[in-house]
Amino acid sequence: MNEIKLFCPATIANVSCGFDVLGLCLESTGDQMLIRKVSTPGVRITKIEGQQLPLEAEKNVAGVAALALLKDLDLDFGFEIEIIKIIKPGSGIGSSAASAAGAVFGINKLLGMPFNPTQLVGFAIQGEALASGTAHADNVAPALLGGFTLVKGYTPLEVIKLNTPKQLFATVIHPQIEVKTADARSVLKQSIPLKKAIVQWGNLAGLVSALYTEDYELLSRCLHDEIIEPMRSPLIPGFHKVKEAVNKAGALGSGISGSGPSIFALSKGKAMAEKVAVAMGDVYKDFGVDYDLHISGINTEGVKVLS
Amino acid sequence: MNEIKLFCPATIANVSCGFDVLGLCLESTGDQMLIRKVSTPGVRITKIEGQQLPLEAEKNVAGVAALALLKDLDLDFGFEIEIIKIIKPGSGIGSSAASAAGAVFGINKLLGMPFNPTQLVGFAIQGEALASGTAHADNVAPALLGGFTLVKGYTPLEVIKLNTPKQLFATVIHPQIEVKTADARSVLKQSIPLKKAIVQWGNLAGLVSALYTEDYELLSRCLHDEIIEPMRSPLIPGFHKVKEAVNKAGALGSGISGSGPSIFALSKGKAMAEKVAVAMGDVYKDFGVDYDLHISGINTEGVKVLS
């Protein structure tokens, strides 16, 4: 096998109560990537469709992640990467993570899979570091492992794949508002009340239990963010109206996707996820803000081989 | 049935990374309680063996919990309670919780079980409020539900029973040092660094996952307390030596049981739990401090009917 075509999924990081540790992988929203083994050593990004992004490997998240993987291998051949970018950068659904994850997954496949998924996450976060300044794994982990993932820690890096309830669907609205990751980071307070932290970790522990027992009602009761959402939601006009509308429509819960501006909701069943999408869209229609909508099952596989 | 004899189990609250939310129930350490239906309305504590504790129902945790349950029932009969107290008050393994849990469990049984376990926890925490000033559920929940429990929240009260890995054993050492719950509370800082909170909830989420997947190695890697242990451990002389000794012996992890001074360790298999007990005891022997040791399986049932 000298060439591989991939689906590189979008992802939702944090998932309300799991700031910096939890993430989930989407089924129907993602980029495409073609990776080709070539005789010239190194990594070349030969084509990017859909977005204006740097072609130099050292300045491109896919390139940096690929170079991280290849660094210690001393190969006498190399790789070309073509990217069809569907996920908009800055949307909050893991655009850079999809590219980083796709690059390391594909090259690992073409090399005969010398690396395990955790090692791949370790390479991919070096691409994330280029995109956002921090080597965070909460998008690349679900993009590579699929389903719900937990980043247990970084020293050493440990990622855990959790169970995914079968009837869970996600709805994501991306209002065309710019929220810079740096701004989303700068509003975070460095110190938080112990009382709120206890509520947050009670919710996260309950959410993890609900994922394993596939208890949708418990999952719904745990989808609250005591800490980060109150700090970040003022950056997203219409956020509270969307939350109100999706609750009324019957979603299990909702929150900021990653650092925003996308807002996600989780629902039981596809029909409910579609109803929630209409409710979300109506809010931004009233605001006169353009938006993209995604309705998606949970992708329990991660990056997929298309051909 | 007019009389019931109960085993009221000791419990470990917090379990390292689950401060104020997580607890587990012990198999082989606990009090005994006899509850008798009598024609006189109200609650009377007729006998307490093993400890000097108030016999007036309104000043006794079992009495207060029982009265909370009976409050709205308007019964023309009442209950007598005899307690054989084995768990030492102030030991940090849920002495008051055992009494409160036993009283509400037993009376509920004698009444034909009108209340569900969460309602029983709600009554029992009123006994806890008498004992420690706060109506905390992290001991009464495991005492009533058995196994590992999560107190998801108090408004409304929600307790969740988690899975218990089959080969898990606990070792608890109670050094005869007094740590007042009020002191253990007063050393807590009201505000904590966000970074440490993230590590803590990553560990707790990993621990819950490990309970469901029965992954002892992951469980071991998650048994860390970034936040409370550093504040409270100076109140327990020998704490770090015990931790070091049990790690060396091969325990999965260890920490402060509740607000101390008891120290718990979790192990895979009974033989390891026994080895860990020897290691714990050796530390306090060297210190010249008397101690009690408990080696116990996890009680997945909670309060048990003896006859």
Catalytic residue among B11, B149, B164, B181: B181
Tally A–B CB contacts below 8 A.
124
Q: Which candidate in B207, B209, B215 is best for mutational testing of the A interface (most A CBs within 10 A)?
A: B209
Average pLDDT over residues B34-62: 96
Question: Are A278 and A153 within one domain?
Answer: no
Task: pLDDT band for B133, please (50, 70, 90 cuts).
Answer: confident
pLDDT in tens, A32-46: 999 999 999 999 999
pLDDT at position B69: 98
Confidence at B262, pLDDT banded by 50, 70, 90: very high
CB contact under 8 A, B212 and A163: yes
Quick one: pLDDT at residue B1? 84
Q: Are residues A14 and A48 in the same domain?
A: yes
Indicate whether B95 pLDDT > 90: yes
Confidence check: pLDDT of A179 > 90: no
Which of B27, B29, B128, B229 is catalytic? The answer is B128
Q: Which residues of B touch A213 (CB under 8 A)?
A: 212
pLDDT band (50, 70, 90) for residue A133: confident
**Residues A205, A149 within the same domain:** no
Per the structure, the complete domain to which residue B251 belongs is given by: 168-297
| Beta-carbon contacts of residue A240 (< 8 Å; ≥ 6 apart) | A233
Q: Which residue has the higher pLDDT, A130 or A171?
A: A171
Per-residue CA distances from A168 to A173, A273, B205 (Å): 17, 9, 20
Residue B213 is among the residues annotated as catalytic for this protein = no
Q: Do A208 and B205 touch (CB under 8 A)?
A: yes
Contacts with A192 from chain B: Cβ below 8 Å: 191-194, 197
Residues A80 and A186 in one domain: no
A39, A43, A46, A50: CA torsion to nearest 10: 150
Condensed to tens digits (0 to 9), the pLDDT of residues B165-193 reads 999 999 999 999 988 777 888 899 999 99
Are the Cβ atoms of A201 and B21 closer than 8 angstroms? Answer: yes
Residue B244 designated active-site: no
Please tell me the predicted confidence (pLDDT) of residue A107: 98
Residues B146 and B174 in one domain: no
Binning pLDDT at 50, 70 and 90, where does residue B131 land? Answer: confident
Instruction: Say whether both A173 and A158 belong to one domain.
Output: no
pTM of this prediction exceeds 0.90: yes
Q: What is the mean pLDDT of residues A64-88?
A: 96
pLDDT tens for residues A135-149? 899 999 999 999 999
- Mean pLDDT value across residues A147-174: 97
Tell if the CB–CB gap between A192 and B195 is shorter than 8 Å. no
ipTM: 0.95
Together in a domain, B281 and B203: yes
State yes or no: pLDDT of A182 exceeds 80: no
Whether residue B17 is found in the same domain as residue B141: yes
Q: Taking residues B207-211, what's their average pLDDT?
A: 98
Same domain, A184 and A134: no
Question: Quick one: tokens of A277?
Answer: 């999408």
Average pLDDT over residues A264-279: 98
Find the CB nearest A191 among B20, B193, B198.
B193
State mean pLDDT over A276-285.
Answer: 97
Catalytic residue among A11, A27, A29, A128: A128
A231-251 tens-digit pLDDT = 999 999 999 999 999 999 999
Indicate if A139 and A208 belong to the same structural domain.
no
Contact: B193, A193; criterion CB under 8 Å:
no
Average pLDDT over residues A55-78: 95
CA distances to A213, B293, B305 from A206, rounded to whole Å, are 10, 32, 29
Residue with tokens 């196994």: B147
What does pLDDT average to over chain A?
A: 96
Find the residue in B nearest to A148 (Cα).
B209
- Find the mean pLDDT for residues A289-307: 97
Q: Are A157 and A103 in contact (CB under 8 A)?
A: no
Which residues in chain B touch residue A150, judged by CB atoms under 8 angstroms apart? Answer: 202, 205-206, 209
B289 contacts B169 by C-beta, under 8 angstroms: no
pLDDT > 70 fraction of chain A, expressed in percent and rounded: 100
Residues in chain A within 8 Å Cβ distance of B17 = 201
Residues B175 and B153 in one domain: no
Kindly state the average pLDDT of the residues A107-112.
Answer: 98
CATH code, domain with A288: 3.30.70.890
Q: Per-residue confidence at A19, pLDDT binned at 50, 70, 90?
A: very high
What's the number of domains chain A is made of?
2
Q: What is the pLDDT of residue B24?
A: 98
pLDDT at residue A180 greater than cutoff 80: no
Q: Which residue, B221, B257, B211, B194, is CA-closest to A211?
A: B211
- Asked if the Cβ–Cβ distance from A160 to B193 is below 8 Å, we say no
User: Are B223 and B16 in contact, with CB atoms under 8 Å apart?
Assistant: yes
Q: Name the 3-class secondary structure at A138.
A: coil
The answer on A21 and A134 residing in a single domain is yes
Residue of chain A whose Cα is closest to the Cα of B207:
A205
Please give the share of chain B, as a percent, with pLDDT higher than 90: 93
What pLDDT shows up at residue A233? 95
Given the structure tokens 């051909």, which residue do they identify?
A307
What's residue A13's pLDDT? 98
Q: What is chain B's mean pLDDT, rounded?
A: 96
Question: In this structure, what CATH number is given to the domain that contains residue B157?
Answer: 3.30.230.10
* Alpha helices per DSSP H over chain A: 61-70, 95-110, 117-132, 140-145, 181-186, 194-213, 216-222, 228-232, 239-249, 270-287
Residues of A in contact with B192 (CB under 8 A): 191-194, 197
From the CA of B220, how many Å to the nearest CA of chain A? Answer: 12
